Every structure is written in C-alpha cells, then in structure tokens.
C-alpha cells in the first residue's frame, strides 16, 4: 500500500482566496510607494497591513494551510540537523581553502604551459 499523500484539486473558492491574497500584497506594496510623502511609520504600517491581510486570507484556503503544514515540518526537520562543532567547522573551512589554493595554482600552471606551447612552440609568436 502506498504511503503517498493524495493531492486534491483546488476549488475555485481557494483560487479566489489566493488571488485576493496576492492582491492584498500588491495593495500593501503600492500603498507603501504611494505614501512616499508620509512618515516612514505610516508607510510601514500600510505595507505590514497588506501583508497581514494577505496572510489572513491565504490561511483560510487549502493551499495556505498546506503551506503552513510544510513550514512546520521544515522547522521540525531543521531541529534534527546535527551541526558541526566550531573546531570541525574550522577544519572543514581550512580543507576547502587549501583545495581552492591547490586548484588555483594547478589551473594557473596549466594555463601558462598551454600558453607557452601554443604561442611560443606552435605559432612562434613572442610576446
């Protein structure tokens, strides 16, 4: 038996709610720019109000609830990550820098050898 979640088709009311949420975000951003002569706090309130209305409208739709569930699951998964210690992070960083240095020297040397072979030996051009 499959353990895959079943994806349902969005209803038209959900599509309308998502469209309204997008319109609320756009209205907040437009309000922010239209109020350019007002104090910054007023402009910020217009922007935040548009975003809050958008979140409120989106939260009532199925895609909004799905996104909320996804966000909660992402936070739960991030808590399971085993982060390296400071010493391990410094060692890994040193290895990466060392590798980059070795590759830079290798590529520089390869470029100079090919330049010598192409221009001096094959074409006979002197710089």
Q: How far is CA 46 from CA 1, 39, 51, in A?
A: 50, 11, 9
Q: Taking a C-beta distance cutoff of 8 angstroms, is the pair 57, 21 a contact? A: yes
Using the predicted structure, report yes or no on whether residue 9 has a pLDDT greater than 60.
no
Q: Taking all residues of the chain, what is their mean pLDDT, rounded to a whole number?
A: 89
The per-residue pLDDT for 123 is 85
Tokens read off for 20: 């309204």
Q: Could you report the per-residue pLDDT of 64-118, keeping only the tens digit for each?
A: 888 889 999 999 999 999 989 999 999 999 999 999 999 999 999 999 999 999 9
CA 66 – CA 59 distance, rounded (Å)? 9
Q: What kind and span of H or E run contains 52?
A: helix 40-59
| pTM greater than 0.85 (yes/no) | no
How far is C-alpha 107 from the chain's CA centre? Answer: 31
The C-alpha atoms of residue 125 and residue 11 are separated, in whole angstroms, by 72
Give 126's DSSP letter.
-
């Amino acid at each position: 038996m499959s353990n895959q979640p079943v994806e349902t088709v969005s209803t038209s009311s959900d599509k309308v709610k998502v469209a309204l949420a997008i319109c609320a975000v756009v209205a907040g951003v437009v309000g922010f720019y239209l109020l350019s002569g007002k104090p910054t706090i007023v402009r910020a309130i217009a922007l935040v109000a548009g975003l809050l209305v958008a979140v409120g409208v989106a939260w009532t739709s199925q895609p909004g609830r799905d996104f909320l569930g996804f966000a909660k699951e992402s936070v739960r998964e991030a808590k399971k990550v085993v982060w390296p210690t400071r010493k391990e992070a410094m060692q890994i960083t040193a290895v990466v820098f060392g590798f980059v240095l070795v590759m830079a020297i290798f590529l520089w040397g390869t470029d100079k050898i090919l330049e010598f072979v192409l221009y001096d030996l094959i074409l006979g051009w002197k710089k």
